């Protein structure tokens, strides 16, 4: 092959377009990794609308991970004490099917769980949840998006009546004020942030506010950095709302015509006087007022957030209090304004579209809605009532289900819960109890593979064709450019084969991934995420942003004409880059709903035994648990080891010096980190990156300390904060 192939970076939700060429091309020297494997050439796709040719270090180096430590064949063992032995696919499928049937007979469908991933392509998601929800009859299909974005999902649904970020990346270059809260976008969403940072630099009137307990690279670029105490986000938002109301900055026309529940919200924010809010948040009253003033003086405000907001026991409330600020000032539905969650995983959005969480069905449908269940059952041609009315187990519920013996079979694919779950020692103990665990991944070893009875080799990026949707709803075709190694198969192919062996032959008779995608799109007809006009064939021409109904091509021409005549025609809304441009929302009454929330603070505040707050986060080069990036030399050199950031005052009080080792302990466990003493972190708070599991460093797991207490609405755990003690490790 000599041509380049267009695809997508499979790391973060920015979703940058890539072009990949064979290792040696046009007479250039072949790049090789340190093991001598030829490396495919990767460059940014200049035609991709989201990234415009830019890539960060992760995207640029991805090809180096393709040939490292790949799992080539199915492997099986009878117990965790035994070594794995190679098996045929036939043997592995046979074993899996028999175990599923056994558990169905002895414990019922509710004892079967699958834990998937935002690394899945939409086709993988769709077939996996069809297998679980439509065939096995268990809604226990959840994905690692539960740990990442589920608070944004529930916040959008409660405020707007539907999931779906209303904004697009162009808004980064059209806003008058960017309000970034709980996101270190400079490191975690670098290309989206580049667009904002360049625009901000060029336009000095544009304001950037960053809210983060750490002085991150993102905060360095801001006009105003609010280093609030962890857990005081709602106080801050309600305090800003209080000031905006006091200053008469309400968009009363918008509030009256387009929203509901304003009186309840107004009653709550009455109690958030600025002096108390500033004290609670640990910032000055002047900084609080400046933030509110920037918001008030800006025609268009764009707020951006990610894990710092979502990974919280009050995550949904935090999301909704951000949205409240937009609703009270009418900052939505226009270029450069609106609430915009940045997704972590590359296809967390596609997962949401395809029903890839335990409370969802395809097409942004909800398990608890009888009409939604009936629509999906009819489409799949399965028995009415086959889909259980009960939302399935979430990621953490599966762990507790293993503890109690209620889970009889766990299938984990493309994710690494033995590092990424909260309270990791408890998680590992639960995984040890699992009667039967299937682990499906591209790599071996990983930390979770150690807990598996069956290993299934998965094709990964570049080895299968499918689609992913990024944070701005742009759908891109990720095209394969090389065969999968050994006997590895696409995830969706593995799920479909098990479905057929369970007797659902017609339901899983997919010829290829384009066929799977076509079936999925039909389930989005008339839904907010309507993609019935999209196909693999069409995506080969260019990425497409949804909504994109079947008749989009012909109507787009008409829409362009209408758009020149009117602002809020139904058609112009339908094909615009933003949602809710007609200011009608997906709620039953068409109004966006204010949320009225008092702050509850951290689920586990510091106390005399555990006097510090630990916050966790990500670094520029690494991706999650290092399954890929740990195998890339350049990134390993960039971030050679884990560390803990401590403020000089705290370090001095504990005799901790730069590079000395610190024992960090919580009620659940402990770990050791090298000290990095810095004023970038506030006194009383410490920071540890979450990337290191047992495979990459000894006793340096951030999640040894974290707890699983979750948001009651989104069921997303509070991975961002817990109470810890610190002690200097004395080395003799």
Supply the minimum distance, in Å, between the C-beta of residue 346 and ligand SF4: 7
Tokens describing residue 469 = 């949707």
For residues 185 and 340, is the Cβ–Cβ distance under 8 A? no
Phi, psi at 110, each rounded to 5° = -65, -10
Query: Of the two residues 11 and 597, which places its CB atom closer to ligand SF4 in the complex?
Result: 11
Rg (CA), the chain: 25
Supply the minimum distance, in Å, between the C-beta of residue 187 and ligand SF4: 10
Supply the minimum distance, in Å, between the C-beta of residue 54 and ligand SF4: 7
Enumerate the H helices of 139-232 as residue ranges: 150-160, 185-188, 190-202, 217-220
**Does residue 56 interact with ligand SF4 by CB under 6 A?**
yes
Q: Among 149, 153, 186, 191, which residue sits at the site for ligand SF4 (rule: CB under 6 A)?
A: 191
Tokens describing residue 715 = 């069921």
Query: Of the two residues 43 and 563, which places its CB atom closer to ligand SF4 in the complex?
Result: 43
One DSSP character per residue, 428-448 reads HHHHHH-S-EEEEESBSS-TG
Spell out the residues 6+ positions from residue 540 whose beta carbon is closer than 8 angstroms to its own: 477, 479
Stretch that binds ligand SF4, among 49-57, 102-110, 130-138, 456-464 (CB under 6 A): 49-57
Stretch that binds ligand SF4, among 52-60, 144-152, 434-442, 657-665 (CB under 6 A): 52-60
**Does residue 691 interact with ligand SF4 by CB under 6 A?**
no
Supply the minimum distance, in Å, between the C-beta of residue 44 and ligand SF4: 8
Q: Among 4, 5, 9, 291, which residue sits at the site for ligand SF4 (rule: CB under 6 A)?
A: 9
Supply the minimum distance, in Å, between the C-beta of residue 165 and ligand SF4: 16
Stretch that binds ligand SF4, among 56-64, 197-205, 286-294, 315-323 (CB under 6 A): 56-64
Query: Of the two residues 56 and 681, which places its CB atom closer to ligand SF4 in the complex?
Result: 56
**Does residue 422 interact with ligand SF4 by CB under 6 A?**
no
Query: Of the two residues 171 and 507, which places its CB atom closer to ligand SF4 in the complex?
Result: 171
Query: Of the two residues 99 and 622, which places its CB atom closer to ligand SF4 in the complex?
Result: 622
For residues 711 and 621, is the Cβ–Cβ distance under 8 A? no
For residues 726 and 674, is the Cβ–Cβ distance under 8 A? no
For residues 141 and 356, is the Cβ–Cβ distance under 8 A? yes
Supply the minimum distance, in Å, between the C-beta of residue 177 and ligand SF4: 23
**Of the candidates 732, 731, 701, which has an alpha carbon nearest to the alpha carbon of residue 719?**
701
Place of tokens 């004409």: 561
**Does residue 12 interact with ligand SF4 by CB under 6 A?**
yes
Residue 367 CB coordination number (10 Å): 22
For residues 530 and 547, is the Cβ–Cβ distance under 8 A? yes
Q: Among 134, 155, 190, 363, which residue sits at the site for ligand SF4 (rule: CB under 6 A)?
A: 190
For residues 302 and 337, is the Cβ–Cβ distance under 8 A? yes
Binding residues among 517-536 for ligand SF4 as defined by CB under 6 A: none
d(CA 640, CA 524): 45
Binding footprint of ligand SF4, residue count (CB under 6 A) = 14
Stretch that binds ligand SF4, among 21-29, 86-94, 188-196, 316-324 (CB under 6 A): 188-196
Query: Of the two residues 13 and 665, which places its CB atom closer to ligand SF4 in the complex?
Result: 13
Supply the minimum distance, in Å, between the C-beta of residue 213 and ligand SF4: 23
Binding residues among 123-142 for ligand SF4 as defined by CB under 6 A: none
Binding residues among 57-116 for ligand SF4 as defined by CB under 6 A: 58-59
Supply the minimum distance, in Å, between the C-beta of residue 323 and ligand SF4: 25
Stretch that binds ligand SF4, among 184-192, 434-442, 583-591, 694-702 (CB under 6 A): 184-192
**Does residue 169 interact with ligand SF4 by CB under 6 A?**
no
Q: Is 667 strand, coil or helix?
A: coil
**Does residue 14 interact with ligand SF4 by CB under 6 A?**
yes
Sheet holding 41-44: strands in order across?
5-8, 17-21, 41-44
Residue closest to ligand SF4, measured at CB:
59
Residue 88 CB coordination number (10 Å): 12
Q: Is 599 strand, coil or helix?
A: coil
d(CA 224, CA 209): 5
Binding residues among 611-650 for ligand SF4 as defined by CB under 6 A: none
Stretch that binds ligand SF4, among 147-155, 185-193, 454-462, 664-672 (CB under 6 A): 185-193
**Of the candidates 416, 308, 415, 422, which has an alpha carbon nearest to the alpha carbon of residue 351?**
415
Query: Of the two residues 15 and 422, which places its CB atom closer to ligand SF4 in the complex?
Result: 15
Question: Which whole-number Å values give the CA distances from 136 to 109, 363, 388, in the listed order?
Answer: 6, 20, 10
Query: Of the two residues 114 and 192, which places its CB atom closer to ligand SF4 in the complex?
Result: 192
Query: Of the two residues 9 and 675, which places its CB atom closer to ligand SF4 in the complex?
Result: 9
**Of the candidates 581, 547, 551, 542, which has an alpha carbon nearest to the alpha carbon of residue 563?**
581
**Does residue 15 interact with ligand SF4 by CB under 6 A?**
yes
Q: What is the dihedral of CA 148, 442, 361, 165, to 10 degrees?
A: 40
Stretch that binds ligand SF4, among 54-62, 179-187, 435-443, 666-674 (CB under 6 A): 54-62
Enumerate the H helices of 18-163 as residue ranges: 57-61, 89-106, 122-129, 150-160
Q: Among 5, 7, 19, 55, which residue sits at the site for ligand SF4 (rule: CB under 6 A)?
A: 55
Supply the minimum distance, in Å, between the C-beta of residue 193 and ligand SF4: 8
Q: Among 16, 104, 342, 431, which residue sits at the site for ligand SF4 (rule: CB under 6 A)?
A: 16
- Length of the chain as a residue count: 732
d(CA 247, CA 265): 17
Residue 323 region, left (φ>0) first, then alpha (ψ -120 to 50), else beta?
Answer: alpha
Which residues of the shown chain bind ligand SF4 in the complex (CB under 6 A)?
A: 9, 11-12, 14-16, 51, 55-56, 58-59, 189-191
């Amino acid at each position: 092959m000599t041509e380049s192939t267009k695809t997508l970076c499979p790391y973060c939700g920015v979703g940058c377009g890539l072009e990949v060429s064979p290792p040696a091309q046009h007479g250039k020297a072949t790049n090789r990794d340190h093991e001598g494997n030829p490396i495919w050439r990767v460059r940014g796709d200049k035609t991709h609308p989201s990234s415009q040719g830019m890539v960060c270090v992760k995207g640029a180096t991805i090809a180096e991970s393709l040939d490292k430590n790949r799992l080539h064949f199915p492997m099986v063992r009878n117990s965790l004490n035994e070594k794995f032995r190679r098996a045929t696919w036939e043997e592995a499928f046979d074993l899996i099917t028999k175990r599923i049937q056994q558990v169905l007979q002895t414990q019922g469908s509710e004892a079967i769980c699958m834990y998937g991933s935002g690394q899945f392509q939409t086709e993988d998601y769709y077939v996996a949840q069809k297998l679980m929800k439509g065939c096995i009859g268990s809604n226990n299909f959840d994905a690692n998006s539960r740990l990442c974005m589920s608070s944004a999902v529930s916040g959008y649904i409660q405020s707007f009546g539907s999931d779906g970020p209303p904004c697009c990346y162009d808004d980064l270059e059209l806003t008058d004020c960017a309000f970034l809260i709980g996101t270190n976008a400079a490191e975690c969403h670098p290309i989206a942030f580049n667009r904002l940072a360049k625009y901000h630099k060029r336009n000095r009137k544009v304001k950037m506010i960053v809210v983060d307990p750490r002085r991150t690279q993102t905060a360095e670029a801001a006009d105003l950095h609010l280093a609030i105490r962890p857990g005081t986000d709602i106080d801050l938002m309600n305090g800003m709302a209080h000031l905006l109301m006091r200053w008469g900055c309400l968009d009363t026309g918008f509030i009256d015509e387009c929203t509901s529940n304003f009186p309840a919200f107004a009653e709550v924010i009455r109690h958030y006087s600025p002096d108390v809010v500033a004290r609670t948040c640990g910032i000055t009253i002047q900084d609080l007022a400046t933030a509110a003033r920037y918001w008030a003086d800006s025609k268009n405000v764009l707020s951006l957030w990610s894990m710092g907001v979502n990974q919280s026991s009050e995550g949904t409330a935090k999301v909704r209090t951000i949205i409240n600020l937009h609703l009270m000032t009418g900052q939505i539905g226009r270029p450069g304004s609106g609430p915009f969650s940045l997704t972590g995983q590359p296809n967390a959005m596609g997962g949401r579209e395809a029903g890839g969480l335990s409370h969802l069905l395809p097409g942004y449908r909800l398990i608890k809605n009888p009409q939604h269940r009936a629509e999906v059952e009819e489409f799949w041609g399965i028995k009415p009532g086959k889909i259980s009315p009960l939302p399935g187990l979430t990621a953490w519920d599966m762990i507790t289900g293993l503890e109690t013996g209620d889970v009889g079979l766990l299938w984990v694919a493309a994710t690494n819960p033995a590092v990424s779950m909260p309270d990791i020692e408890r998680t590992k103990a639960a995984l040890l109890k699992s009667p039967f665990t299937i682990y499906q991944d591209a790599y071996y070893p990983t930390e979770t593979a150690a807990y598996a009875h069956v290993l299934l080799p998965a094709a990964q990026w570049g080895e299968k064709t499918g689609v992913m949707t990024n944070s701005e709803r742009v759908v891109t075709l990720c095209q394969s450019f090389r065969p999968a190694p050994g006997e590895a198969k696409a995830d969706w192919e593995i799920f479909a084969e098990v479905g057929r062996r369970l007797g659902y032959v017609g339901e899983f008779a997919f010829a290829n991934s384009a066929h799977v995608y076509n079936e999925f799109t039909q389930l989005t007809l008339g839904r907010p995420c309507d993609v019935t006009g999209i196909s693999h064939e069409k995506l080969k021409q260019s990425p497409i942003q949804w909504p994109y109904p079947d008749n989009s091509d012909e109507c787009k021409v008409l829409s362009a004409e209408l758009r020149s005549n009117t602002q809020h025609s139904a058609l112009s809304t339908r094909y615009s880059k933003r949602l809710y441009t007609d200011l009608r929302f997906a709620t039953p009454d068409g109004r966006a709903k204010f949320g009225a929330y008092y702050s509850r603070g951290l689920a586990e505040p510091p106390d005399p035994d555990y006097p510090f707050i630990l916050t966790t986060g990500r670094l520029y080069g690494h991706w999650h648990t290092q399954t890929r990036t740990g195998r890339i030399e350049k990134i390993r050199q960039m971030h050679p080891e884990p560390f803990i950031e401590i403020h000089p005052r705290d370090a001095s009080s504990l005799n901790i010096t730069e590079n000395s080792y610190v024992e960090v302990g919580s009620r659940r466990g402990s770990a050791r980190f090298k000290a990095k003493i810095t004023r970038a972190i506030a006194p009383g708070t410490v920071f540890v990156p979450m990337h290191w599991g047992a495979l990459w460093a000894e006793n340096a797991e951030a999640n040894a300390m974290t707890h699983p207490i979750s948001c009651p609405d989104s069921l997303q755990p509070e991975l961002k904060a817990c109470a810890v003690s610190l002690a200097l490790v004395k080395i003799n």
